[in-house]
Amino acid sequence: MSDDRTIQRDRMRFTRNTLSANLVLLAILFDVFYFINIYKSDINHDVGNFYYQFRIGASIILNLVFMLAAFLSSEGIKNYKVQYAYLLIGLGALQIARIFILPLQALRTEVTIAGNTGTVMEMAQFVRVTIYLIISSICCFASAVIGIKRSRELNEHLASLGLTANA
């Protein structure tokens, strides 16, 4: 292994995995974009009214849980804790799944407003929120992959020095 690579690995003993942590924060940011766009309504598309049932509460709770878990993971992954990387993979999958829960249903459901029949959510809005969720998901996956890789490298390096992860 080259000298530079060894130093790079050794640096991890004293520096944090800020790349992974920042990717998770980016995932939270795009989740926020998704959430502030999902209920946008206009005269022909009444998304707000469509959700105005128990699902709006569940949606808010789910969003809060995601943000909390993601923030917790960003702190964990920053310190090379690999279990948080697995949690992030789950959160990434959840963001993908969310596309099929509310946005897709709203796109497929037709309503009649003032005699005009159309989908609850217009295509442009669907594409926008889907992109936000996909980016958020990619950030989670990328953060997890980088986290796992770096965590393994650090553990191998510590083992070669005869140290443990807590040393």
Partner 1 sequence: MANLSLQHIDKIYDNNVQAVFDFNLDVKDGEFIVLVGPSGCGKSTTLRMVAGLEDISNGKLLLDGKDITNAPAKDRDMAMVFQSYALYGHMTIYENMAFSLTLRKENPNVIHKKVLAAAEILGLTSQLNKKPAQLSGGQRQRVAMGRSIVRNPKLFLFDEPLSNLDAKLRGATRREILLLHKRLQATMMYVTHDQTEALTLADRIVCMSMGHVQQVGTPLELYDSPANLFVASFIGLPPMNFFDVRVNGGQLIGDQFSTTLSEAEAHLLARYNGKTITLGVRPENITAGGDITMKVSTNENLGMNTLVHGHLGNATDPANKITAKLRGWCNYKDGDIVPISFNKKHFFDKETTNAIKED
Smaller CB distance to partner 1: residue 10 or 46?
10
Torsion of CA 27, 29, 33, 36, to 10 degrees: 120
Residue 161 has phi, psi (to 5 degrees) of: -90, -5
Shortest Å, Cβ 86 to partner 1: 24
Residues lying near partner 1 in the complex (CB under 8 A): 4, 7-8, 10-11, 13-15
Smallest gap from Cβ 10 to partner 1, in A, equals 7
The smaller minimum CB distance to partner 1, of residues 8 and 63, is found at 8
Shortest approach of partner 1 to residue 2 CB, angstroms?
Answer: 11
Q: Which residues of 118-140 are buried (b: 16+ CB within 10 A; e: fewer)?
A: ebbbbeebbebbbebbbbbbbbb
How far is residue 133 CA from its own chain's centroid? 7
Nearer to partner 1, 66 or 80 (CB): 80
Apex CA 29: angle with CA 23 and CA 33, to 5°? 140
Q: Tell the smallest beta-carbon distance from residue 14 to partner 1 (Å).
A: 4
Which one-letter DSSP state was computed for residue 92?
Answer: H
Q: Which is nearer to partner 1, 49 or 79 (CB)?
A: 79
